[in-house]
Chain A
């Protein structure tokens, strides 16, 4: 049967309309809100955001989190994915267990780690029982910024490595086994095989995983909020504070636009840096 030319457009129309109504319109409104100075266009909201006491810290913390969490997650997910590949039995079960954290909401995940790491949490109870500490020890307040930072890193790694893992596992499965065997025959060591065969062929999946995970990492909020509250300022957290506590929607919108701009920039950088020449994909 000959399909009318407009049929594909008709079929994608609902999703386009849905995204336009619930994404593009709010996006436009947010941008307008952020540059609305009361009497027309103004960058006052941005100036106020940049001049805020917490802004440099929030910016630094957010970037530091991304810089530490993303490489660790990618490295971990690669190791986990390659280990899965080597397994012959119980593969599905292990993958399933590893992806359980994906089913936990990020706020719940934050609360789980709070229960472990707070003053009278599970970690301290254990350390106290084996005699390492003599009483409740704080890790999550403003006096222990390094410990708090690593607590957030730990919780984020626990919570969100699986999303990277799933994308990479799918990518690893797409690499024909013959490439690895050919490399074995011609004398490549496991490390060489990884570096010269697996990694280059995994580039498209790595790119997807990095973009998705980095964008999400710049938007990190609930885990940090549960563990440290405002002791550990981050960009989205500041947007939340300006919106809800300061009731200043303009500055909150400026933060939102900034986070979006950063995410967009990161995506463009990944697309450029990990450009996959279609010619080099079999």
Chain B
């Protein structure tokens, strides 16, 4: 078991900067998700940790050991690839055994470890089959089993669920979490899917434009995003942003008055489920344009002033398009964002 330290890792491809001086640590046994839109550098960072890509500067430490210039195999890690990279010409058994064989394990050990990994991922009955005969989800399990069979100190996963259909993704997500919990493997998991990151990770590192904008527990990233980008990227529906102007430490939105950290133009950020519906005069005026019954809740899309907002209402609420409602907000559940920098005002 081992923690990971990323120290000022930067990467350029020619003139293009993929990563700009990234530093963070992953504790032993921790599950960290690298979350961001495509092109944010998350996969590049993972490949640098794996040793498949060489950083332009900075260093990578795994379990107190500087692995920056070591080959992938010498770093004591395993990886699950986005397209699984399960070898088509080997049986499932040989695929899972591959890492063990490369390490020169004897047949008895290979058998035992493969059985154990296969059991963990529920693929015992497919061991003698070739991958072409398996479904996407089963191949995915083979890829994870192959990685876990070598009992790596560190497991790297590159969008492992993105090729699965929605239902299977949900199932595998829950299973991965329990399997990795049990194994206690330090895991770095790359994804662009914020629900995946929220559900799986101990901590989420949100990346944008080659750096980490925020790193923290899922709930913290969700309710106290460091920037407007994080608030808009994490959570479904995304955080609402309302432009307003504060004066004398107060911002007014119709009947709603909130204490603001600074005067002048400011952006109020709040989550759709944190707004309480009141009558039009008693809160921020919200004009409903679309009401979508989602089963578990009613999703209202509308406007506050000129800004688009989505609000979550109880499933049985009787609200029609065109209605104007009032929104009441808990001051403890909102964030204030500087419209110039996009950064959240601390503590407010």
Cβ contacts B46-82/A at 8 Å (1 or 0 each): 0000111000000000000000000111000111010
Q: Does B318 lie at the interface of the complex (its beta carbon under 8 Å from any beta carbon of A)?
A: no
Please report which residues of chain B, range 76-127, place their CB below 8 angstroms from some CB of chain A when the two chains form the complex. Answer: 77-79, 81, 83-89, 98-99, 102-103
Q: Does A260 lie at the interface of the complex (its beta carbon under 8 Å from any beta carbon of B)?
A: no
Q: Does A40 lie at the interface of the complex (its beta carbon under 8 Å from any beta carbon of B)?
A: no
Task: Tell me if A186 and B132 are in contact (CB < 8 A).
Answer: no
Residues of chain A within 8 A of B52, CB atoms compared: 181, 184-185
| A278–B132 CA distance with the chains assembled, in angstroms | 9
Task: Tell me if B85 and A176 are in contact (CB < 8 A).
Answer: yes
Beyond A182-B79, A186-B102, is A280–B71 a contact (Cβ under 8 Å)?
no
Q: Does A38 lie at the interface of the complex (its beta carbon under 8 Å from any beta carbon of B)?
A: no
Task: Tell me if A279 and B133 are in contact (CB < 8 A).
Answer: yes
Kindly provide the distance from the CB of A280 to the nearest chain B CB, expressed in whole angstroms: 4
Closest to A186 in B: B99
Residues of chain A within 8 A of B72, CB atoms compared: 181, 184-185
Q: Does B131 lie at the interface of the complex (its beta carbon under 8 Å from any beta carbon of A)?
A: yes
| A182–B146 CA distance with the chains assembled, in angstroms | 10
Cβ contacts A242-282/B at 8 Å (1 or 0 each): 00000000000000000000000000000000000111111
| A200–B91 CA distance with the chains assembled, in angstroms | 13
Q: Out of A185, A192, A200, A282, which one reaches B132, CB within 8 Å?
A: A282
Which residues in A have some Cβ–Cβ distance to B below 8 Å? 176, 178-179, 181-188, 192, 197, 200-201, 203, 277-282
Total B residues in contact with A, Cβ cutoff 8 Å: 27
Q: Out of A183, A188, A281, which one reaches B88, CB within 8 Å?
A: A281
Task: Tell me if A282 and B88 are in contact (CB < 8 A).
Answer: yes
Task: Tell me if B85 and A281 are in contact (CB < 8 A).
Answer: no
Beyond A184-B52, A186-B73, A201-B88, is A176–B83 a contact (Cβ under 8 Å)?
yes
Kindly provide the distance from the CB of A177 to the nearest chain B CB, expressed in whole angstroms: 9
Kindly provide the distance from the CB of B93 to the nearest chain A CB, expressed in whole angstroms: 14
Residues of chain A within 8 A of B89, CB atoms compared: 200-201, 203, 280-281
Closest to A203 in B: B89
Given contacts A181-B85, A184-B72, A188-B98, 4 further A-B contacts (CB under 8 A): A181-B81, A185-B79, A186-B102, A277-B130
| A27–B79 CA distance with the chains assembled, in angstroms | 57
| A223–B52 CA distance with the chains assembled, in angstroms | 47
Task: Tell me if A179 and B50 are in contact (CB < 8 A).
Answer: no
Task: Tell me if B130 and A279 are in contact (CB < 8 A).
Answer: yes
Residues of chain A within 8 A of B50, CB atoms compared: 185
Residues of chain B within 8 A of A178, CB atoms compared: 81, 83-85
Residues of chain B within 8 A of A181, CB atoms compared: 52, 72, 79, 81, 85
Closest to B100 in A: A186
Closest to B150 in A: A186
Task: Tell me if B77 and A282 are in contact (CB < 8 A).
Answer: no
Which residues in B have some Cβ–Cβ distance to A below 8 Å? 50-52, 71-73, 77-79, 81, 83-89, 98-99, 102-103, 130-133, 146, 150
Kindly provide the distance from the CB of A92 to the nearest chain B CB, expressed in whole angstroms: 19
Closest to A178 in B: B85
| A183–B131 CA distance with the chains assembled, in angstroms | 16
| A278–B89 CA distance with the chains assembled, in angstroms | 10
| A187–B87 CA distance with the chains assembled, in angstroms | 15
Task: Tell me if B103 and A187 are in contact (CB < 8 A).
Answer: yes
Residues of chain B within 8 A of A192, CB atoms compared: 102
Residues of chain B within 8 A of A203, CB atoms compared: 89
Beyond A178-B83, A192-B102, is A185–B78 a contact (Cβ under 8 Å)?
yes
| A278–B81 CA distance with the chains assembled, in angstroms | 24
Residues of chain A within 8 A of B88, CB atoms compared: 201, 280-282
Q: Out of A186, A201, A282, which one reaches B98, CB within 8 Å?
A: A186
B81, B83, B85, B133: which has the most chain A beta carbons within 10 Å? B85
Closest to A184 in B: B72
Beyond A184-B71, A185-B79, A282-B131, is A179–B87 a contact (Cβ under 8 Å)?
yes
Task: Tell me if B130 and A179 are in contact (CB < 8 A).
Answer: no
Beyond A182-B79, A201-B88, is A187–B132 a contact (Cβ under 8 Å)?
no
Q: Out of B71, B81, B132, B133, which one reaches A182, CB within 8 Å?
A: B81
Q: Out of B77, B132, B150, which one reaches A281, CB within 8 Å?
A: B132
| A188–B85 CA distance with the chains assembled, in angstroms | 14
Residue pairs across A and B with Cβ atoms less than 8 A apart, 11 shown, are A179-B85, A181-B81, A185-B72, A185-B79, A186-B99, A187-B103, A200-B89, A201-B88, A201-B89, A281-B88, A282-B88
| A203–B89 CA distance with the chains assembled, in angstroms | 10
| A272–B67 CA distance with the chains assembled, in angstroms | 47
Task: Tell me if A187 and B102 are in contact (CB < 8 A).
Answer: yes
Task: Tell me if A186 and B130 are in contact (CB < 8 A).
Answer: no
Task: Tell me if A280 and B102 are in contact (CB < 8 A).
Answer: no
Residues of chain A within 8 A of B73, CB atoms compared: 184-188
Residues of chain A within 8 A of B103, CB atoms compared: 187
Residues of chain A within 8 A of B133, CB atoms compared: 279
| A187–B51 CA distance with the chains assembled, in angstroms | 12
| A224–B257 CA distance with the chains assembled, in angstroms | 97
Closest to B82 in A: A178
B84, B99, B103: which has the most chain A beta carbons within 10 Å? B99
Residues of chain B within 8 A of A200, CB atoms compared: 89
| A200–B94 CA distance with the chains assembled, in angstroms | 14
Kindly provide the distance from the CB of B253 to the nearest chain A CB, expressed in whole angstroms: 51
Residues of chain A within 8 A of B99, CB atoms compared: 185-187
Listed from nearest, the 8 A-B pairs whose CB atoms lie closest are: A282-B88, A187-B73, A178-B85, A186-B99, A187-B102, A182-B85, A200-B89, A280-B89
Residues of chain A within 8 A of B150, CB atoms compared: 186
| A82–B79 CA distance with the chains assembled, in angstroms | 24
Kindly provide the distance from the CB of B197 to the nearest chain A CB, expressed in whole angstroms: 23
| A181–B86 CA distance with the chains assembled, in angstroms | 11
Residues of chain B within 8 A of A201, CB atoms compared: 88-89
